[in-house]
Amino acid sequence: MTAIPAVPVSIPELAAPSVWPVSAVSAPGGDVAVGGVPLTEIAERYGTPAYVLDEDEVRSRARAWLRALPDAEVVYAAKAFVCRAVVDWMEQEGLGLDVCSAGELELAAVRGFPAERIVLHGNAKSPEDLRTALRLGVGRIVIDSDCEIARLAAQVTGPGAQQVMVRVLPGIEAGAHAKIRTGAEGQKFGLSIADGDAEDAIARILGQPRLELTGLHSHLGSQISSPEPYAQNVRRVVAFMARIRERHGITLPELDLGGGFAVAYLPGDPAPLPAAYGRRINDELVRSCAEFDYPLPRLTVEPGRSIMAPAGIALYRVLAVKRTGGQVFVAVDGGMSDNPRPALYGARYTVRLVGRASAAPMRATTVVGRHCEAGDVLAEAVELPEDVRPGDVLAVPASGAYQVSMASGYNMTRRPPVVAVSGGRSRLLVRRETFDDHRSRDVGL
């Protein structure tokens, strides 16, 4: 397989590197190449639906976060998407790993990821999650409820104490949709600073000799397109850390601000560079610590989407075209089983025909999935050629995060493969699910 040389980019949406990977270029016959590999070549070789991941884009975005906060610990939020190769990439680039289950922990262990660079999250960690974390020796476990404190302490066998952080609610509304806002009062994550729950939990942890409280954690939400909520969060949490020092005589050395940094899903969407977030966070941390005479804590951030989403592209094949009620519906061979985000919280995407040049006029089109739900809509009001037809291949950029990781087997469809591209070559990272996979789990007679 030979690399596709770059040609002058004349397609407007390809001029937005925050939507498409930087390596995306026009290719002959109306195609697009990513990482030097034509997208239609991937569709033919691996079938559709399929997910393409630009390895160089992932690594570049990871490094951008390290440059943006050189004195901080950068921890990749594995929930965005994780597989063996991604674990390896994060380890090689010097990032930590944020996990939410025993399954993600075991995957990291299989790849030999350093346990001390792993952070375990979750508002309702199972006994298996906690046992696995302690067995593997994860660096920090984030306490998310009072219930976890005694339960975790009882399982620590020593000789040393388990390092923990407390996830606090700073009472800040931030995020693109109510379902992905996690820093405000009155939702399932964290312990409230305002009503005293966080301080009560801290007091209880300080009474547990098997637990070592190293700092505070917070996470405001997802798709936060301005650095200002992070600055506000820094002010509130540093003030709370100073209050804890005054009341309990302990100076907490770590502050984890979580993730949630926005990416562009449509051309023109606001998506500040890591450096912009980093500057504002650092400036406010220095200012707030000086105001409260508090030593600068070790900072941690947890980017996931901002590393993975712009590196991924979903590929679908058109199955049917329906023109009815003044609308055009283009049905593809995937849908909410591989991308539930539009149905869950109205996520929007851009879509492009690849592999065929068309001179037909563009028309507003609704791209729908194949599943038995009226809400199985992948993209509304996207511009596609009027002559789009069955067999065409459609590409959806900004698809690297929270799609395959949230995929299901609805209607007993098969979860799609993930293919990495780099240097003109493609390689399979995650194979397509098979019918045998489904049958092997069905053991009842």
pLDDT of the residue at 358: 95
pLDDT in tens, 148-198: 999 999 999 878 999 999 999 887 765 544 554 454 556 777 898 988 999
Instruction: State both tokens at 226.
Output: 């301005």
Q: How far is CA 225 from CA 15, 40, 261, 304, 358, in A?
A: 20, 33, 7, 14, 35
Q: CA 433, CA 409: separation in Å to the nearest integer?
A: 9
Q: CA 350, CA 209: separation in Å to the nearest integer?
A: 53
Selection from 336, 345, 398, 344 nearest residue 367 by Cα: 336
This prediction's pTM: 0.92
Band the pLDDT of 47: cuts 50, 70, 90. Answer: very high
Residue whose tokens read 């063996």: 84
Instruction: State both tokens at 146.
Output: 């009072």
Q: Is the pLDDT of residue 418 over 80?
A: yes
Catalytic pick from 83, 147, 289, 372? 372
Written as one letter, the residue type at 37 is: V
Band the pLDDT of 221: cuts 50, 70, 90. Answer: confident
Selection from 251, 387, 259 nearest residue 330 by Cα: 387
Backbone angles phi, psi at 30, to 5 degrees: 80, 15
Of all residues in the chain, the percent with pLDDT exceeding 70 is: 93
| Helices first, then strands: H and E counts in the chain | 12, 21
3-state class (DSSP) for residue 206: helix
Instruction: Answer yes or no: 372 catalytic.
Output: yes
Cis ω before 159 (30° cut-off from 0): yes
The total of other beta-carbon atoms located within 10 Å of residue 444's CB is 3
Q: Is the pLDDT of residue 3 over 70?
A: no
Of all residues in the chain, the percent with pLDDT exceeding 90 is: 83
Residue 141 belongs to what H/E stretch?
strand 140-143
Average pLDDT over residues 407-421: 95
Q: Is the distance from CB of 300 to CB of 254 less than 8 angstroms?
A: yes
Domains in the chain, ordered, with CATH? Answer: 12-54+310-440 (2.40.37.10), 56-306 (3.20.20.10)
Please, what is the average pLDDT of the chain? 92
Q: Is the pLDDT of residue 445 over 80?
A: no
Average pLDDT over residues 32-39: 97
142 forms beta bridges with 165
Residue 161 belongs to what H/E stretch?
none
Q: Is the distance from CB of 416 to CB of 338 less than 8 angstroms?
A: yes
Selection from 216, 204, 218, 192 nearest residue 294 by Cα: 216
Average pLDDT over residues 118-125: 93
Selection from 221, 234, 233 nearest residue 260 by Cα: 221
Q: Is the pLDDT of residue 139 over 60?
A: yes
pLDDT of the residue at 184: 53
- Length reported for the chain: 445
Average pLDDT over residues 1-25: 61
pLDDT of the residue at 176: 46
pLDDT of the residue at 18: 64
Written as one letter, the residue type at 155 is: Q
Average pLDDT over residues 194-210: 94
Average pLDDT over residues 249-265: 95
